[in-house]
Amino acid sequence: MKGMGIKMSFRALQEIIDISEKTGKKFWEVIMENDMNERAVSREDSFQKMYMLYEAMRNANDNYDKKLMSCSGLVGGDGEKVRIALEKGNLIGGPFVGETISKALKMGENNACMKRIVAAPTGGACGVLPAVLLTYEEQMNVDKDKMVEAMFVASGIGVVISVRAFLSGAAGGCQAEIGSASAMAAGALAYLQGADNEGIAHACAISFKNLMGLVCDPVAGLVEVPCVKRNAGGAVIAIAAADMAVAGVRSQIPPDEVIDAMREVGEQIPRTLRETGEGGIAATVTGDEIAKRVLKHTPIL
Amino acid sequence: MNVFEVMGPVMVGPSSSHTAGAVKIGYIARQLLRDDVANAEILLHGSFLATGVGHGTDRALVAGLLSMKPDDERIPDSFSYARDAGMEYSFGGVELRHAHPNSALLKLQGKNGNKLELVGSSIGGGAINIDKIDGLDANFAAIYPTLIIHNVDEPGHVADIATFLEKYSVNIATLKLSRDNRGGRAVMVIECDQEVPLELIEKLRQKKGILKVSYLSMED
Ligand code: SF4
């Protein structure tokens, strides 16, 4: 009875590619048109809404406060440290990678410090996409429309992941959060670097294969340790995956099957490693001590 | 999921489920109360109770009850805003049966005397579900204009209300019925494609056999 348009999420990256090939429309356009149908909105509305999200990412990045620490005292100031080191020329990865790491940390810290961010796809993984996209725009001199198109590419990949697998650490471990964000970013970067549909999908697959099995083990259950630093790792893997795909490297396992594998792995990850704060980094001696200290300071009852 | 459920929302961190979803539950509860909150008893269940404080779930719920939205930068300081607004609140734990791990039970009293008891859960990515209203199953996502009608469990109400809505050109998107076996009460949850005119809501409130009509508007 819903009169709001047809609800139909993409079930496969191949489905997006098939439509693109049949209609001659670009990967990002197929995704945008799906949104237009679903929400019964115009091209301008859909594009504008995505543009606003991109601008919100930029604002969040600009509003980073290097002096701010999270309530627990565990995170803050690291994005600034990397920026300074980059400025001094002390980083191995060069300007693109260095800036990406700095921005990823900053956004993760913003999130932990209760500042405004864009969940992409989640709060915990909110640093990956803006880190690569804002850095790309700054350093590669592309126009803003192209960046918004890349955002659609990333979102479309995310939709497929949400349908075939999951996007939350509680459901599938960190591979579903940072892993998904990285796969989305890899596809977006590949698109920006001129990859065709196949290249976009394979960038996504290669990135996922590098983060498969990553567990969700936040200390004291907070989205801080190891989450913030994983945003940097996820962003750098996205760059590596996109570079491989652009160079013509292909995943031997088709991208949709790789996403299925992520789901299967996620289903086998024990509960203690799915956002409960009871395993992995959270369950180390120090992790445990921190949890006791943090929770003592903020009693709810 | 839609593209914009994957990308976004713009929110205050750290957690889409434990922070943004919690703000939204509070916000929707405040809307349904139709009154400024004078007193809120906030009971947390499951993971909301276990890790809520570190995620700011407590501040997020209070912020929502003050009509703040998930991207409001005042959320971290909501406790002091509550003080300024004369809103009292208390926290506790609760074991809710068959509830999602991220759930809260809110018992609210408004400044004009309105009362509301609501169970809401944060189901991921900032999306929420309103599970119960005043002890009766409600089960809606709060993304459409929604009418929640409590009535005496007797024949005729559904047809009457559908006719009413049609007369005012409101298209029904979904309609759910459930009944409370003990009290002979039933609840109708109607998600609509358009806003429901206030005049119609008032008329429904005056109908015989209708116990309570709550309305969730999607307009700010
Ligand atoms: S460790 Fe868990 S909470 Fe942290 S970013 Fe990964 S999935 Fe999210």
Q: Are A183 and A161 in contact (CB under 8 A)?
A: yes
The CATH number covering residue A247 comes to 1.10.4100
B63: exposed, middle or buried (Cβ count in 10 Å: 0-12, 13-18, 19+): buried
Q: Residue B148: what pLDDT?
A: 94
Q: Residue A6: what pLDDT?
A: 52
What are the backbone angles phi and psi of residue A16, rounded to the nearest 5°? Answer: -60, -45
Mean pLDDT calculated for residue range A126-149: 97
Cα separation, A202 vs A200, whole angstroms:
6
pLDDT tens for A38-56 read 988 999 999 999 999 999 9
Q: Residue A256: what pLDDT?
A: 98
Dihedral over Cα of A226, A278, B17, A214: its sign:
positive
Please report, for chain A, how many H helices and E strands are present, in that order.
Answer: 13, 1
Tell me the nearest-neighbour CA distance from A90 into chain B, angstroms. 31
CB interface of B with A, residues 96-155, below 8 Å: 101, 124-126
Label residue A207 by pLDDT band (50, 70, 90).
very high
Cα separation, A147 vs B26, whole angstroms:
35
Q: Residue A1: what pLDDT?
A: 33
Name the CA radius of gyration of chain B, rounded.
Answer: 17
Percent over 90 (pLDDT), chain A: 88
Angle between helix A255-268 and helix A197-211 axes, rounded to 10 deg: 20
Let me know if residue A47 belongs to a domain: yes
Total domains in chain A come to: 1
**Mutate which: B5, B16, B23, B44, vs A, most A CBs within 10 A:** B16
Q: Specify the residue for token string 């799906």.
A: A34
CB interface of B with A, residues 195-214, below 8 Å: none
Q: Residue A75: what pLDDT?
A: 96
Percent over 70 (pLDDT), chain B: 99
pLDDT tens for B202-214 read 999 999 999 989 9
Distance B207 CA to ligand 1 centre (A): 51
Residue in B135, B155, B148, B156 with CA at minimum distance from that of residue B189: B148
pLDDT of B22 strictly over 60? yes
Q: Is the CB of A230 under 6 A from ligand 1?
A: yes
* Mean model confidence pLDDT for chain A: 94
Sequential DSSP letters for A119-142: -SS-STTTTHHHHHHHHHHHHHT-
Mean pLDDT calculated for residue range A227-246: 98
A122-136, A171-185, A198-212, B50-64: segment of lowest average pLDDT: B50-64
Contact B91 A2 (CB under 8 A): no
Q: If you take atom 8 of ligand 1, which residue's CA is the nearest one?
A: A124
Q: Specify the residue for token string 């995505």.
A: A50
Write down the domain spans for chain B. Answer: 3-140, 146-216
Residue in B219, B159, B164 with CA at minimum distance from that of residue B194: B219
Q: Residue A4: what pLDDT?
A: 44
Q: Residue B178: what pLDDT?
A: 86
Cα separation, B92 vs B109, whole angstroms:
17
Percent over 70 (pLDDT), chain A: 96
Task: Give yes or no for A228 touching B (CB within 8 A).
Answer: no
Q: Residue A5: what pLDDT?
A: 46
Cα separation, B20 vs B11, whole angstroms:
6
pLDDT tens for B92-106 read 999 999 888 899 999
pLDDT of A76 strictly over 90? yes
Cα separation, A253 vs A179, whole angstroms:
17
- Dihedral angle computed from the Cα positions of residues B164, B166, B171 and B174, in that order, rounded to the nearest 10 degrees: 50
Let me know if residue A135 belongs to a domain: yes
A301, containing H or E segment:
none
Nearest ligand 1 atom, CA A122? 8
Cα separation, A213 vs B131, whole angstroms:
33
pLDDT of B185 strictly over 90? no
Label residue A297 by pLDDT band (50, 70, 90).
low
Q: Is the CB of A224 under 6 A from ligand 1?
A: no
pLDDT of A266 strictly over 50? yes
Distance A176 CA to ligand 1 centre (A): 9
Q: Residue A2: what pLDDT?
A: 35
Q: Is the CB of A275 under 6 A from ligand 1?
A: yes
Q: Are B89 and B36 in contact (CB under 8 A)?
A: no
**Mutate which: A35, A70, A155, vs B, most B CBs within 10 A:** A155
Q: Which of B15, B53, B172 sits opposite A123 (nearest CB)?
A: B15
Q: Is the CB of A274 under 6 A from ligand 1?
A: no
Mean pLDDT calculated for residue range B52-58: 85
Task: Give yes or no for A74 touching B (CB within 8 A).
Answer: no
pLDDT of A68 strictly over 80? yes
CA distances, B180 to each of A86, A301, B1, B187 (Å): 64, 32, 32, 8
Greater confidence (B65 vs B16) lies with B65
Label residue A277 by pLDDT band (50, 70, 90).
confident
Q: If you take atom 1 of ligand 1, which residue's CA is the nearest one?
A: A216
Q: Residue A24: what pLDDT?
A: 97
> Helix, strand, coil: what percent of chain B each, to 5?
30, 35, 35
Q: Which of A1, A163, A168 sits opposite B174 (nearest CB)?
A: A1
Mean pLDDT calculated for residue range A62-76: 95
Mean pLDDT calculated for residue range A110-126: 96
**B120: Cβ contacts below 8 Å, ≥ 6 apart:** B25, B28, B29, B103, B104, B106, B128, B129, B130, B131
pLDDT of B47 strictly over 90? no
Show residues of chain A in contact with B71, CB under 8 Å. 116
Q: How many CB atoms lie within 10 A of CB B193?
A: 15
Domain with A165 in it: 13-296
Let me know if residue A173 belongs to a domain: yes
Cα separation, A289 vs A98, whole angstroms:
32
Q: Residue B182: what pLDDT?
A: 64
Tell me the nearest-neighbour CA distance from A31 into chain B, angstroms. 8
* Residue A66 token pair: 């290097």
The interface predicted TM-score (ipTM) is 0.92
What are the backbone angles phi and psi of residue A73, rounded to the nearest 5°? Answer: 80, 5
Label residue B4 by pLDDT band (50, 70, 90).
very high
Nearest ligand 1 atom, CA A231? 5
Residue of B nearest to A71 (CA): B54
Label residue A3 by pLDDT band (50, 70, 90).
very low
**B57: Cβ contacts below 8 Å, ≥ 6 apart:** B18, B19, B22, B44, B48, B51, B104
Mean pLDDT calculated for residue range A160-177: 93
Q: Residue A44: what pLDDT?
A: 98
**A230: Cβ contacts below 8 Å, ≥ 6 apart:** A108, A125, A174, A178, A214
Query: B146-216, what's its fold?
Result: Alpha-Beta Plaits (3.30.70)
Mean pLDDT calculated for residue range B153-176: 91
Task: Give yes or no for A285 touching B (CB within 8 A).
Answer: no
Q: Residue B124: what pLDDT?
A: 78
CA distances, B32 to each of A34, B18, B22, B59, B177 (Å): 33, 21, 15, 20, 19
Q: How many CB atoms lie within 10 A of CB A110?
A: 28
Cα separation, B173 vs A284, whole angstroms:
50
Q: Specify the residue for token string 């994005």.
A: A79
A291: exposed, middle or buried (Cβ count in 10 Å: 0-12, 13-18, 19+): buried
Q: Specify the residue for token string 């806003």.
A: B195
Let me know if residue A4 belongs to a domain: no
pLDDT of B194 strictly over 50? yes
Let me know if residue A58 belongs to a domain: yes
CATH entry 3.30.1330.90 includes domain B3-140: yes
Task: Give yes or no for A182 touching B (CB within 8 A).
Answer: no
